[in-house]
Chain A
Amino acid sequence: MVKILFFAGLAEKIGEREMVIEEAGNWQIDQLTEWLQAQYPSAKSELAQSMVAINEEYAERTETLADHDIVAFIPPVSGG
Protein backbone atom coordinates (compact mmCIF):
# COMPACT_ATOMS: atom_id res chain seq x y z
CA MET A 1 0.00 0.00 0.00
CA VAL A 2 1.37 3.37 -1.05
CA LYS A 3 -0.05 6.79 -0.23
CA ILE A 4 0.09 9.39 -3.01
CA LEU A 5 -0.08 13.16 -2.45
CA PHE A 6 -0.91 15.85 -5.00
CA PHE A 7 -0.53 19.59 -4.67
CA ALA A 8 -1.50 22.92 -6.21
CA GLY A 9 -2.59 22.85 -9.86
CA LEU A 10 -1.98 19.11 -10.10
CA ALA A 11 -4.35 18.43 -7.18
CA GLU A 12 -6.99 20.54 -8.92
CA LYS A 13 -6.55 18.67 -12.20
CA ILE A 14 -6.77 15.25 -10.53
CA GLY A 15 -9.56 16.33 -8.21
CA GLU A 16 -7.92 14.67 -5.19
CA ARG A 17 -5.23 15.71 -2.75
CA GLU A 18 -4.37 12.16 -1.75
CA MET A 19 -5.10 8.56 -2.59
CA VAL A 20 -3.99 5.07 -1.62
CA ILE A 21 -2.90 2.50 -4.19
CA GLU A 22 -2.85 -0.98 -2.73
CA GLU A 23 -0.80 -2.69 -5.43
CA ALA A 24 1.95 -0.04 -5.85
CA GLY A 25 4.17 -1.47 -3.07
CA ASN A 26 7.01 -2.55 -5.39
CA TRP A 27 6.44 -0.30 -8.38
CA GLN A 28 9.03 2.07 -9.79
CA ILE A 29 8.09 5.76 -9.72
CA ASP A 30 7.97 5.67 -13.52
CA GLN A 31 5.46 2.85 -13.43
CA LEU A 32 3.31 4.69 -10.89
CA THR A 33 3.45 7.83 -13.04
CA GLU A 34 2.29 5.92 -16.11
CA TRP A 35 -0.52 4.29 -14.14
CA LEU A 36 -1.71 7.71 -12.93
CA GLN A 37 -1.40 9.17 -16.43
CA ALA A 38 -3.68 6.41 -17.72
CA GLN A 39 -6.22 7.12 -14.97
CA TYR A 40 -6.04 10.90 -15.33
CA PRO A 41 -5.21 11.69 -18.96
CA SER A 42 -5.97 15.40 -18.47
CA ALA A 43 -3.11 15.61 -15.96
CA LYS A 44 -0.63 13.75 -18.16
CA SER A 45 1.86 16.54 -18.76
CA GLU A 46 1.63 17.87 -15.20
CA LEU A 47 2.43 14.38 -13.87
CA ALA A 48 5.40 14.14 -16.24
CA GLN A 49 6.73 17.59 -15.27
CA SER A 50 6.42 17.09 -11.54
CA MET A 51 9.27 16.17 -9.28
CA VAL A 52 8.64 13.20 -7.06
CA ALA A 53 9.43 12.83 -3.38
CA ILE A 54 9.39 9.60 -1.42
CA ASN A 55 8.87 10.08 2.30
CA GLU A 56 9.66 13.81 2.04
CA GLU A 57 12.94 13.44 0.08
CA TYR A 58 13.33 14.11 -3.65
CA ALA A 59 13.72 10.84 -5.54
CA GLU A 60 14.87 9.68 -8.96
CA ARG A 61 12.16 8.36 -11.25
CA THR A 62 13.84 4.98 -11.42
CA GLU A 63 13.53 4.45 -7.68
CA THR A 64 11.40 1.55 -6.49
CA LEU A 65 8.68 2.08 -3.93
CA ALA A 66 8.29 0.12 -0.73
CA ASP A 67 5.13 -0.76 1.13
CA HIS A 68 3.84 2.19 3.24
CA ASP A 69 5.87 4.77 1.34
CA ILE A 70 4.36 8.24 0.95
CA VAL A 71 4.89 9.51 -2.58
CA ALA A 72 4.37 13.19 -3.40
CA PHE A 73 4.03 14.60 -6.91
CA ILE A 74 5.50 18.07 -6.74
CA PRO A 75 4.64 20.40 -9.61
CA PRO A 76 7.20 23.15 -10.40
CA VAL A 77 7.49 25.17 -7.20
CA SER A 78 6.86 28.91 -6.81
CA GLY A 79 7.64 29.83 -3.24
CA GLY A 80 9.56 32.90 -2.10
Chain B
Amino acid sequence: MSDEVFDKPFVITEKPLSTEMAIQHVSNPKAGAVNLFVGTVREWTGDKQTQYLEYEAYDEMAEKMLQKIGNEIKEKWSEACVSIQHRIGRMDISDIAVIVAVSTPHRNESFEASRHGIERIKQMVPIWKKEFWTNGESWVGNQQETIAYPKGEPIDGGEANG
Protein backbone atom coordinates (compact mmCIF):
# COMPACT_ATOMS: atom_id res chain seq x y z
CA MET B 1 0.00 0.00 0.00
CA SER B 2 1.49 3.33 -0.92
CA ASP B 3 -0.30 6.45 0.12
CA GLU B 4 1.34 9.84 0.40
CA VAL B 5 -0.26 10.54 3.77
CA PHE B 6 2.22 7.98 5.16
CA ASP B 7 5.19 9.85 3.67
CA LYS B 8 5.20 11.75 6.98
CA PRO B 9 6.79 9.83 9.87
CA PHE B 10 4.30 11.30 12.40
CA VAL B 11 0.76 11.27 11.14
CA ILE B 12 -2.88 11.50 12.21
CA THR B 13 -5.16 10.11 9.51
CA GLU B 14 -8.57 8.62 8.82
CA LYS B 15 -6.98 6.05 6.52
CA PRO B 16 -6.21 2.48 7.61
CA LEU B 17 -2.71 2.53 9.11
CA SER B 18 0.31 1.01 7.41
CA THR B 19 2.76 -1.11 9.42
CA GLU B 20 4.77 -1.42 6.23
CA MET B 21 5.26 2.34 5.94
CA ALA B 22 6.04 2.64 9.65
CA ILE B 23 8.79 0.02 9.31
CA GLN B 24 10.09 1.74 6.19
CA HIS B 25 10.41 5.06 8.04
CA VAL B 26 12.63 3.63 10.76
CA SER B 27 14.68 1.13 8.78
CA ASN B 28 18.31 2.10 8.35
CA PRO B 29 21.71 0.39 8.14
CA LYS B 30 22.58 1.06 11.81
CA ALA B 31 19.41 -0.63 13.05
CA GLY B 32 19.54 -4.17 14.37
CA ALA B 33 16.02 -4.10 15.78
CA VAL B 34 12.67 -2.68 14.75
CA ASN B 35 10.00 -2.77 17.44
CA LEU B 36 6.37 -2.18 16.50
CA PHE B 37 3.68 -1.48 19.04
CA VAL B 38 0.30 -1.95 17.39
CA GLY B 39 -2.78 -0.86 19.32
CA THR B 40 -6.04 -2.43 18.17
CA VAL B 41 -9.75 -1.96 18.91
CA ARG B 42 -10.78 -4.27 21.74
CA GLU B 43 -14.23 -5.83 21.77
CA TRP B 44 -14.44 -6.85 25.43
CA THR B 45 -13.56 -4.63 28.40
CA GLY B 46 -14.53 -6.78 31.36
CA ASP B 47 -18.15 -7.63 30.64
CA LYS B 48 -18.76 -4.58 28.47
CA GLN B 49 -18.93 -5.20 24.76
CA THR B 50 -17.74 -2.60 22.26
CA GLN B 51 -19.48 -2.47 18.90
CA TYR B 52 -17.18 0.14 17.39
CA LEU B 53 -15.16 3.22 18.34
CA GLU B 54 -14.81 6.74 17.12
CA TYR B 55 -11.62 8.70 17.65
CA GLU B 56 -11.48 12.47 17.43
CA ALA B 57 -8.28 14.55 17.42
CA TYR B 58 -7.09 18.12 17.50
CA ASP B 59 -5.29 17.15 14.32
CA GLU B 60 -2.63 19.83 13.97
CA MET B 61 -1.62 19.75 17.63
CA ALA B 62 -1.79 15.96 17.81
CA GLU B 63 0.70 15.60 14.96
CA LYS B 64 3.00 18.09 16.66
CA MET B 65 2.78 16.10 19.90
CA LEU B 66 3.61 12.85 18.09
CA GLN B 67 6.67 14.59 16.68
CA LYS B 68 7.52 15.80 20.18
CA ILE B 69 7.34 12.24 21.51
CA GLY B 70 9.67 11.21 18.69
CA ASN B 71 12.11 13.92 19.82
CA GLU B 72 11.83 12.79 23.45
CA ILE B 73 12.73 9.26 22.39
CA LYS B 74 15.74 10.49 20.44
CA GLU B 75 16.92 12.42 23.51
CA LYS B 76 16.77 9.29 25.67
CA TRP B 77 17.95 6.80 23.04
CA SER B 78 20.09 8.82 20.67
CA GLU B 79 20.36 6.18 17.97
CA ALA B 80 16.63 5.53 17.78
CA CYS B 81 14.53 6.25 14.68
CA VAL B 82 10.81 6.72 15.33
CA SER B 83 7.59 6.79 13.36
CA ILE B 84 4.10 7.07 14.87
CA GLN B 85 0.72 6.79 13.13
CA HIS B 86 -2.64 7.32 14.83
CA ARG B 87 -5.93 6.73 13.10
CA ILE B 88 -9.09 8.77 13.76
CA GLY B 89 -12.72 8.38 12.77
CA ARG B 90 -14.76 5.21 13.05
CA MET B 91 -13.01 1.93 13.73
CA ASP B 92 -14.29 -1.60 14.08
CA ILE B 93 -13.12 -4.43 16.32
CA SER B 94 -9.47 -5.40 15.66
CA ASP B 95 -8.77 -2.37 13.47
CA ILE B 96 -5.39 -0.78 14.12
CA ALA B 97 -5.74 2.53 15.99
CA VAL B 98 -2.09 3.30 16.60
CA ILE B 99 1.39 2.19 15.50
CA VAL B 100 4.61 3.12 17.27
CA ALA B 101 7.68 2.00 15.34
CA VAL B 102 11.18 2.33 16.78
CA SER B 103 14.45 1.09 15.40
CA THR B 104 17.69 0.95 17.39
CA PRO B 105 21.02 -0.81 16.99
CA HIS B 106 20.10 -3.40 19.68
CA ARG B 107 16.77 -4.93 20.73
CA ASN B 108 16.56 -3.80 24.35
CA GLU B 109 16.41 -0.10 23.53
CA SER B 110 13.80 -0.65 20.84
CA PHE B 111 11.43 -2.32 23.35
CA GLU B 112 11.96 0.40 25.96
CA ALA B 113 11.60 3.27 23.53
CA SER B 114 8.44 1.96 21.91
CA ARG B 115 6.91 1.44 25.37
CA HIS B 116 7.81 5.02 26.24
CA GLY B 117 6.17 6.18 23.00
CA ILE B 118 2.79 4.54 23.59
CA GLU B 119 2.65 5.62 27.26
CA ARG B 120 3.33 9.24 26.32
CA ILE B 121 0.67 9.11 23.60
CA LYS B 122 -1.87 8.15 26.24
CA GLN B 123 -0.81 11.06 28.45
CA MET B 124 -0.38 14.01 26.17
CA VAL B 125 -1.64 13.67 22.61
CA PRO B 126 -5.00 15.42 22.09
CA ILE B 127 -6.99 12.44 20.85
CA TRP B 128 -10.26 11.20 22.34
CA LYS B 129 -11.97 7.86 22.08
CA LYS B 130 -15.73 7.41 22.10
CA GLU B 131 -16.90 3.90 22.90
CA PHE B 132 -20.10 2.67 21.32
CA TRP B 133 -21.09 -0.15 23.67
CA THR B 134 -23.91 -2.59 23.05
CA ASN B 135 -25.89 -0.62 25.65
CA GLY B 136 -24.93 3.00 25.08
CA GLU B 137 -22.04 5.31 24.28
CA SER B 138 -19.43 7.20 26.28
CA TRP B 139 -16.34 9.32 25.85
CA VAL B 140 -13.37 7.74 27.52
CA GLY B 141 -11.65 10.33 29.72
CA ASN B 142 -8.50 9.49 31.52
CA GLN B 143 -8.91 6.00 32.82
CA GLN B 144 -10.66 6.84 36.10
CA GLU B 145 -11.80 10.34 35.10
CA THR B 146 -10.21 11.64 38.27
CA ILE B 147 -7.13 13.40 36.98
CA ALA B 148 -7.05 17.15 36.71
CA TYR B 149 -4.01 18.89 35.35
CA PRO B 150 -3.22 21.72 37.75
CA LYS B 151 0.10 22.39 36.06
CA GLY B 152 -1.43 22.58 32.63
CA GLU B 153 0.59 19.74 31.16
CA PRO B 154 0.28 16.05 31.90
CA ILE B 155 3.17 14.70 33.91
CA ASP B 156 5.41 11.90 32.74
CA GLY B 157 4.71 8.55 34.37
CA GLY B 158 0.94 8.16 34.33
CA GLU B 159 -0.93 4.94 33.89
CA ALA B 160 -2.07 3.23 30.74
CA ASN B 161 -5.33 2.08 29.31
CA GLY B 162 -3.96 -0.87 27.32
By a beta-carbon cutoff of 8 Å, the part of chain A in contact with chain B is 5, 7-9, 12, 48-53, 56-61, 72, 74-80
Contacts and interface: CB of A to CB of B under 8 A. Distances in A.
B1 interface: no
Contacts of A50: 149
Contact of A80 (B39, B58, B141): B39
25 contacts: A8-B56, A8-B128, A9-B128, A9-B139, A49-B147, A56-B58, A56-B60, A56-B64, A57-B61, A58-B124, A58-B153, A59-B152, A61-B152, A72-B61, A76-B141, A77-B122, A77-B124, A77-B127, A77-B154, A78-B140, A79-B55, A79-B121, A80-B39, A80-B118, A80-B122
B35 to A, nearest CB: 16
A79 B122 CA distance: 5
Contacts of A12: 139
Interface in B115-144: 118, 121-130, 139-142
A51 B60 CA distance: 16
Nearest to B60: A56
Q: Identify the interface centre among B64, B145, B147, B152: most chain A CB within 10 Å of its CB.
A: B152
A51 B149 contact: yes
A48 B145 CA distance: 13
Given A8-B128, A8-B130, A9-B128, A78 B141 contact: yes
Q: Which label, helix, strand, loop or mixed, suits the secondary structure of the A interface?
A: mixed
Interface residues of B, number: 38
B11 interface: no
Nearest to B86: A79
B152 A60 contact: yes
A59 B160 CA distance: 23
A12 B60 CA distance: 21
Nearest to A62: B152
Given A5-B58, A72-B61, A76-B142, A51 B152 contact: yes
Contacts of A56: 58, 60-61, 64
A36 to B, nearest CB: 16
